[in-house]
Amino acid sequence: MSVDQQSPPAVRDRFYVGGAWVAPDGDGALEVVEASTEQVLATIPEGSAEDARRAVAAARGAFEAWAATPVAERQRLLRAIADGLEARADEIAATVTAEVGMPLKLSRVIQAGLPVASFRMAADLLDEVALEEEAGTALVVREPVGVVAAITPWNYPLHQVACKVAPALAVGCTVVLKPSEVAPLSAFVLAEVVDAAGLPAGVFNLVTGTGPVVGEALASDPDVDMVSFTGSTRAGKRVSELAAASVKRVALELGGKSPYVILDDANLDKAVPNGVAKAFLNSGQTCSALTRMLVPRERLAEAEQIAAAAAERFAPADPTGERSGIGPLVSGVQRERVRGYIHKGVEEGARLVCGGAEPPEDLPAGFYVRPTVFSDVTPEMTIAQEEIFGPVLAILPYDDEDDAVRIANDTIYGLAAGVWSGDPARAERVARRLRAGQVEVNGGQFDLHAPFGGFKQSGNGRENGRFGLEEYLEVKALLR
C-alpha cells in the first residue's frame, strides 16, 4: 500500500476524549507533510490548553473504576487492541512511511509490528509481575500511579505510543496521549481501535497539538499524576520543570550520542557494517543510533574503507519503491538541521569519507540526505558531542582500551552503546564499563523484553518489559 500524493489531504478534525470523538476547543489546524513528496498528507486539530484539561478530567473521572477492573478483563481488552492494530498493520505501515520516511518493508516489521507486540506483552506481563508481597509484618501492594500524560515523538510514532500506553493501561492507569504533531496519524488509528475494542470511556484519550501548548498544559496539570515523555533533552528538561510544581512522577527517554567501541581484536568486516546499519536505521532518526564509531588508531584506514562501502548500500531511495536504501528525513526543518551538522563537521576539521550536504541528484522532491561518514573526528567536535538525528556517522580513533572507554563515556548522554570484540568475555567486560542504559554486545539485537532508557542527560526511568510496566506502579505498605 502506498499513499497517493495526488489525493486531497485527509482531514482529522476531532479528538478522542471520554470515549467519544469530540470537537476541539478552537478551529486551528496543523498540516502533516509527506516526507518523500513534500505534499500535505493530512490536517489535524491544533489543540489548546482547554482541550488538554478536558482530556485530563475525563481520565481522572475514569481512573477509580479502571484501577479496580479485574486483571483478566484488562488483559482481554489489551489483547483486543493488539488484534485491532494487527488487522490494520498494512495501513499503519503505509501511514508511518508517508509521515516519517522509513522504507515500507521495514515499517511493516517495526512501525506496525512492534506496537502489536507491546500490547500483547503488557497483557502477558500481568501474569508475571507481583502486585502484592510480604515485607516483615507488612503487606506491600503495587497500585497504578493514576492519570498518565504520554507525550511521544515522531520517529517511531506508534511504537513509542505503545511503549507507554500499553503498560500504563495494563496496570490500571488512565491515559491522555499527545502524539507528535509531525507524525500523529497512527495515533488516530489507535484511538479507533481502542474505541472498537470497548475500552471504558475516559480510560484512553487523544489530544493533538504542539508541545508548548498541549504538552506544557499536560505536564503542569495538577490532576496528572505522571508524565512519560520521549523527545529531546531540551524539551525533557522543560517537562521536568513544569511537573515539579505538583511533584508528579516524570519518566524521560531523551537524546543520545551512542558510542560503538570496536576493539582491536574485532573482525572489522563484520563489526563495521553492523555499526553502519545501526547508525543509519530509519535514516539515522533513532535516539539509540550508534553514531560514534570508535576504532583502533592503527586500523582507522581499514575501517574507513569498509564503512564507505557499507554506506553505499544505504543510498537514498523512495521508501515505497523496490530499491533498498534509506528514506527521507521527516521534514524540511530536520533536513536543514542535518545538513548544518555536516557543514559543521567539515568546518571543524573532520574528514569527509563519503556523502555530504549536497542533495541526491536523482530525488528532486523529498527530505533526503545522503548517508555521510566522517573520519578523524575528535571527541570535542560538535558532530561527536551533539545528537544529529540523521544519517551521519562519526569515526573516532583511539589508542587503547582505556582510551576507548574514556571517549565513549565523554558526552552528556548515556542512552545506548555497542561493543564488538573477537572475545565475547572481553566485549562484555568493556560493556560493563560504558555508562549507558543499553549496550549491544557483538551485534546484539533489540529486544522488547529488555529495559530501555538512559543514564545522565539521556533521561530517567525505563520502558519495555517488566521494568516498563513497573514504572506505572506506586508502592503501598499495609502495616498489620
CATH number for 302? 3.40.309.10
Let me know if residue 61 belongs to a domain: yes
Whether residue 374 is found in the same domain as residue 243 = no
How much is the pLDDT for 6? 59
Cell numbers 543510533 correspond to 289
How much is the pLDDT for 414? 98
d(C-alpha 224, C-alpha 207), whole Å: 14
354 is catalytic: no
Whether residue 21 is found in the same domain as residue 123 = yes
C-alpha separations of 209 from 43, 180, 186, 471 in Å: 11, 8, 15, 26
Per-residue cell: 269: 568486516
Question: What pLDDT digit, counting tens, does each position of 229-257 carry?
Answer: 999 999 999 999 999 999 999 999 999 99
d(C-alpha 421, C-alpha 264), whole Å: 7
Whether residue 277 is found in the same domain as residue 421 = yes
β-strand partners of 133: 140
Let me know if residue 81 belongs to a domain: yes
In the predicted model, is pLDDT for residue 78 greater than 70?
Answer: yes
253, 304, 387, 463: the catalytic one is 253
Tally the domains of the chain.
2
In the chain, DSSP finds a helix count (H) and a strand count (E) of: 16, 21
Whether residue 282 is found in the same domain as residue 378 = yes
Per-residue cell: 141: 501492594
Q: What is the DSSP letter of 456?
A: G
Q: How many angstroms separate the first and last alpha carbons of the chain?
A: 60
For residues 162 and 191, is the Cβ–Cβ distance under 8 A?
Answer: no
Whether residue 298 is found in the same domain as residue 227 = no
pTM for this predicted structure: 0.96
Give the pLDDT band (50/70/90) at residue 133: very high
Whether residue 338 is found in the same domain as residue 474 = no
Whether residue 441 is found in the same domain as residue 467 = no
How much is the pLDDT for 323? 87
Of 5-19, 355-369, 421-435, which gets the smallest average pLDDT?
A: 5-19
Query: In 10 A of CB 68, how many CB atoms?
Result: 9
Per-residue cell: 435: 555508562
Let me know if residue 352 belongs to a domain: yes
d(C-alpha 458, C-alpha 335), whole Å: 23
Q: Please report which helix (H) or strand (E) contains residue 44, including its range.
A: strand 40-45
Let me know if residue 374 belongs to a domain: yes
Let me know if residue 2 belongs to a domain: no
What average pLDDT does the segment 38-51 reach?
A: 98
287, 354, 440, 463: the catalytic one is 287
C-alpha separations of 52 from 47, 161, 203, 224, 465 in Å: 7, 17, 15, 11, 29
d(C-alpha 436, C-alpha 408), whole Å: 10
Whether residue 281 is found in the same domain as residue 180 = no
Whether residue 250 is found in the same domain as residue 269 = no
Q: Which domain holds residue 72?
A: 10-254+458-478
How much is the pLDDT for 2? 43
H helices within 327-445, ranges in order?
332-347, 382-385, 401-408, 424-433
Give the pLDDT band (50/70/90) at residue 324: confident
For residues 328 and 368, is the Cβ–Cβ distance under 8 A?
Answer: yes
Whether residue 388 is found in the same domain as residue 462 = no
CA 28 to chain centre: 27
Q: In the predicted model, what is the mean pLDDT of the chain? A: 97
For residues 206 and 20, is the Cβ–Cβ distance under 8 A?
Answer: no
Whether residue 233 is found in the same domain as residue 263 = no
Contacts of range 22-30, beta carbons closer than 8 Å, 24 or more positions apart? 22/54, 24/48, 24/51, 25/50, 25/51, 25/54, 30/181, 30/208, 30/209, 30/210
Give the pLDDT band (50/70/90) at residue 90: very high
d(C-alpha 446, C-alpha 428), whole Å: 17
What average pLDDT does the segment 396-417 reach?
A: 98
Question: What pLDDT digit, counting tens, does each position of 185-232 carry?
Answer: 999 999 999 999 999 999 999 999 999 999 999 999 999 999 999 999
How much is the pLDDT for 322? 86
How much is the pLDDT for 1? 38
In the predicted model, is pLDDT for residue 458 greater than 80?
Answer: yes
SS3 434: coil
Question: What pLDDT digit, counting tens, does each position of 326-349 carry?
Answer: 999 999 999 999 999 999 999 999
Whether residue 218 is found in the same domain as residue 265 = no
CATH number assigned to the domain comprising residue 56: 3.40.605.10
Let me know if residue 4 belongs to a domain: no
173 is catalytic: no
DSSP per-residue string spanning 281-350: GGGG--TT---EEEEEGGGHHHHHHHHHHHHHTT----TTSSS-S----S-HHHHHHHHHHHHHHHHTTP
Name the residue among 42, 286, 319 with its Cα closest to residue 156.
286
Let me know if residue 453 belongs to a domain: no
φ, ψ for residue 213, nearest 5 deg: -105, -70
How much is the pLDDT for 86? 98
Give the pLDDT band (50/70/90) at residue 7: confident
Let me know if residue 5 belongs to a domain: no
